[in-house]
Amino acid sequence: MDVSPAALGRATLARQHLLGRSDLPVPEAVRAVAAVQAQEPAAPYLALWNRVAGFDPADLDDAFATGTVVRSTLVRVTLHAVHADDWASFHRAVTDPLRGSRLYDRRFAPAELTPAEVNDVRDALLAFAAEPRTQDELTAELTRMLGAERAPAAWFALRTFAPLHHVPTGPPWSYTPTRRRYRAGATTGADASPPGDDPAVVHLLRRYLEAFGPASEADFGRFALLRRPFTGPAVEALRDELVVLSGKGPRALLDLPDAPRPPADTPAPPRLLGMWDSVLLAHADRTRVLPEEHRTHVIRRNGDTLPAVLVGGRVVGVWRATVDGVDAALFEPVGRADLDGLEAEAAALRTFLADREPAVFSRYRRWWEQLPADDVRHLA
């Protein structure tokens, strides 16, 4: 079966609840979309506002506070929010890239720890973090164990790959970059498994296809930053459960047989996606939603992924929130009906942000002046 880029986009948008907002409770909505980008404190709130009808940010506050939803460093070595039931398997599945990103970084060298020694330090730190600890408390404990010169490099690595949950510190959202607290999470095994048929990677692949499919093995590898010795066995383990589709390129597209694949012409309402929205970053080939001609304007060279304007299932511009409302910089013409839809979304977004952070993502404004768009509109 051949699947066009537009049909691929509709399938992913349907699974991400971007063709129509769902009525799911917040924890179940997070589970449904697999992993919600949480690098910026407001990002998971914007993601769920786009996906859940009548979304109340207090519901996500409560989910973080109770641990039903967990914020942790996971796929692509960045912070994500995931359902608590998924966290241990997800963390185990991506432990290899998490460890590799830090243990082979020159900033780790001053710690003077072998991989086996860093595991011992990790386990001692996790025991210390059995109850919530501030970042200062954790670095002080590392200083006690290793000394003042070695501790910062050890923390550089451990804060990324140790199985730690972020503990809420808010407001205005549940987390603040300047006040960080952590606690140890219960895992299925803190060490990376060797390449092979790891049930955790199989679980992650199944959840990935449920949320972002149809997708190629390369797409999954990009999403999780896993190499083929990990992705290949997972695909083979699921082979009998999957259907194989054809897209525009030579790579086979994998999918679950009963997953939604709506027609390519299914209406896709306008949306104002937050920074680093996962729908823009979950595939090696992002053209199903993000046209190649707009990619470098939306995903910057340092990895910043700007708040995006979605019209007709495609990114057509970026937006920023100001104290006066919402501005959109459009890269291509947008029809009157879609502009009306964007106006309505912007008005709702302004109301949503008013009590928390009206000028959300403001520290990334430097990109605005570098955009090529001639059409800049004040939406609300």
Mind listing the pLDDT tens digit for each residue in 192-236?
566 666 899 999 999 999 999 999 999 999 999 999 999 999 999
Q: How many domains does the chain have?
A: 2
CB atoms within 10 A of CB 238: 16
- Nearest by Cα to 273 from 107, 103, 78, 48: 48
pLDDT of residue 66 exceeding 60, the answer is yes
- Is 90:35 a contact under the CB 8 Å cutoff? yes
pLDDT of residue 85 exceeding 90, the answer is yes
The CA distance from 16 to 279, in Å, is 8
- Is 1:264 a contact under the CB 8 Å cutoff? no
- pLDDT band for position 371 (50/70/90)? confident
- Per cent of the chain over pLDDT 90 is 86
pLDDT given at position 170: 83
The continuous run of DSSP H or E covering 11 comes out as helix 5-15
Note whether residue 326 is domain-resident: yes
User: Stretch 316-333: mean pLDDT, rounded?
Assistant: 93
- Is 379:340 a contact under the CB 8 Å cutoff? no
Lowest mean pLDDT among 21-25, 163-167, 183-187: 183-187
Both 69 and 208 in one domain: the answer is yes
pLDDT higher for 302 or 167?
167
pLDDT higher for 176 or 250?
176
The residue range of the domain holding 237 is 1-268
- Is 355:347 a contact under the CB 8 Å cutoff? no
Both 52 and 142 in one domain: the answer is yes
Phi, psi for residue 271 in degrees, rounded to 5: -140, 150
pLDDT of residue 247 exceeding 80, the answer is no
Both 213 and 294 in one domain: the answer is no
pLDDT given at position 193: 60
Both 218 and 358 in one domain: the answer is no
Both 333 and 261 in one domain: the answer is no
Note whether residue 277 is domain-resident: no
Both 228 and 302 in one domain: the answer is no
Both 45 and 101 in one domain: the answer is yes
Note whether residue 281 is domain-resident: no
Phi, psi for residue 38 in degrees, rounded to 5: -135, 25
- Nearest by Cα to 182 from 155, 143, 144: 155
Domain boundary (268, 300, 324) is at 268
The CA distance from 117 to 53, in Å, is 49
Using CA of residue 244, residue 247, residue 249, residue 254, what is the dihedral sign?
Answer: negative
pLDDT of residue 2 exceeding 70, the answer is yes
pLDDT given at position 144: 97
Note whether residue 283 is domain-resident: no
- Nearest by Cα to 143 from 153, 131, 129, 134: 153
pLDDT given at position 194: 62
Give the list of residues 6+ apart from residue 19 with CB closer than 8 angstroms, or none: 10, 13, 262, 266, 267, 268, 269
- Is 131:183 a contact under the CB 8 Å cutoff? yes
Note whether residue 276 is domain-resident: no
User: Stretch 41-68: mean pLDDT, rounded?
Assistant: 97
pLDDT given at position 186: 78
pLDDT given at position 131: 96
pLDDT of residue 248 exceeding 80, the answer is no
Instruction: Give the tens place of pLDDT for each residue, 7-20.
Output: 999 999 999 999 99
pLDDT higher for 187 or 352?
352
The structure tokens 């992993």 sit at 35
Both 302 and 229 in one domain: the answer is no
The continuous run of DSSP H or E covering 153 comes out as helix 151-161
pLDDT given at position 202: 96
The structure tokens 């603040």 sit at 176
- Would strands 69-73 and 79-83 be described as parallel, antiparallel, or unpaired? antiparallel
Both 84 and 149 in one domain: the answer is yes
pLDDT of residue 301 exceeding 70, the answer is yes
Q: Which amino acid is at 354?
A: A
Query: Taking phi first (over 0 means left), then psi (-120 to 50 degrees means alpha), and beta for anything else, what does residue 276 get?
Result: left
- pLDDT band for position 370 (50/70/90)? confident
pLDDT of residue 78 exceeding 80, the answer is yes
**Average pLDDT of the chain, as a whole number:** 93
Both 327 and 230 in one domain: the answer is no
Both 248 and 310 in one domain: the answer is no
pLDDT of residue 368 exceeding 90, the answer is no
How many helices and strands (H and E) does the chain possess?
14, 13
pLDDT given at position 138: 98
pLDDT given at position 190: 53
pLDDT of residue 250 exceeding 70, the answer is no
For residue 293, give both structure tokens.
């001609």
Note whether residue 274 is domain-resident: no
- Is 290:280 a contact under the CB 8 Å cutoff? yes
pLDDT higher for 74 or 377?
74
- Would strands 79-83 and 36-37 be described as parallel, antiparallel, or unpaired? antiparallel
- Is 197:204 a contact under the CB 8 Å cutoff? no
Instruction: Give the tens place of pLDDT for each residue, 118-138.
Output: 999 999 999 999 999 999 999
- Per cent of the chain over pLDDT 70 is 96
What DSSP line would sit under 362-378, residue for residue? GGGGGGGGG---SEEEE
Using CA of residue 244, residue 233, residue 187, residue 170, what is the dihedral sign?
Answer: negative
CB atoms within 10 A of CB 49: 23
- Nearest by Cα to 55 from 22, 8, 77, 100: 22
The CA distance from 53 to 182, in Å, is 31
Note whether residue 282 is domain-resident: no
Both 69 and 164 in one domain: the answer is yes
Note whether residue 234 is domain-resident: yes
